[in-house]
Amino acid sequence: MVMNLSGVKWAAAAFAILSLAAAFLFGPVSNASASINYGEEAAATAGRYVGTPYKYGGTTPKGFDASGFTQYVYKTASAKMAIPRTSTEQYKIGKAVSKKELKAGDLVFYATGVKGKVSFVGIYDKNGTFIGATSKGVKAVKMSDKYWQDRYIGAKRIIK
């Protein structure tokens, strides 16, 4: 079926097409880009393992200990960082940050054995919580809980 369009309709259609073409060719160019916040992504990766069992010396999703968990998360998250194996060695890297400066992905350290000696590490999530491989498995923990508050040593930012 052939449709006859009047000259006005043809002109309007041609104008619309030319206007769209001009907008694409000469319009403002957007340089939109997305960048990963590696700390937030590391915290999100840690969150995916909540419920994983605790295993002394564990370094895989079959079972984690505290530092094996943080090491695994940083190795598999977008940051692809190789960090030391033990919480004591992990405490020696990065930049110290205060509690009020904590950002998602920061490592938080605790003395769960000998008083004052780093023996546990978790990954700060947000809103005063961290995700860590506790003796009850990987879980989100409130830093304000008395047990953790009394054993807090400090925090380090290892992602720039």
**CATH number for position 75:** 3.90.1720.10
pLDDT over 90 (residue 132): yes
Average pLDDT over residues 96-125: 96
Query: Is residue 69 a part of any domain in this protein?
Result: yes
Look at residue 16 and tell me if it is in a domain: no
List pLDDT tens digits, range 21-68.
Answer: 555 556 555 555 567 899 999 999 999 999 999 999 999 999 999 999
* Residue 60 domain flag: yes
State pLDDT tens for residues 46-59: 999 999 999 999 99
Number of domains in the chain: 1
Q: Is the pLDDT of residue 96 over 50?
A: yes
Percentage, residues of the chain above pLDDT 90: 72
Question: Has residue 117 been placed in a domain?
Answer: yes
Look at residue 18 and tell me if it is in a domain.
Answer: no
**For residue 140, what are the domain limits?**
38-157
The β-bridge relationship of strands 95-97 and 63-64 is: unpaired
12 in any annotated domain: no
Structure tokens at 112: 């769960």
**Residue 109 burial (10 A CB sphere; 0-12, 13-18, 19+):** buried
